[in-house]
Amino acid sequence: MSRHTLPDGVTPDPSITSDMFDERALDLAPPPKLIGSYYRGEIMWGEFENLFKEYLGAGPGRLAALRIGERAMSANITLLCIERSCVCCHRRLVAEHCKTLFPTLEVSIG
């Protein structure tokens, strides 16, 4: 679980409790400025997607993706997010990025 807040990125979502997930991976979450720009409508999904992919390709995002991808090669991993659909959700982008890093990784998005 990367973020468990309401769309403002700050207020805790009362429907998500710590017993619902094993760990939080903040480095796999979109940076606050990026997600804030998307939620405020300053950027559209396509631009968000491109910028988040850049984030996953460098620095802490890349290291976190490498770590989770490595773990997923030997164990089932479930990525969670506050979005109801994976169409416009960072968890899909993380899973797809991990698949590029580990081509034999089995990924199910849905």
Q: Against a cut of 0.85, is the pTM above it? A: no
What is the residue-level pLDDT of the chain in tens, covering all 110 positions?
A: 445 666 666 677 777 777 777 777 888 989 989 988 998 899 999 999 999 999 999 999 999 999 999 999 999 988 877 777 888 889 999 999 999 999 999 998 87
One DSSP character per residue, 14-69 reads TT--GGG-S---GGGSPPHHHHHHHHTTSS-HHHHHHHHHHHHTSHHHHHHHHHHH
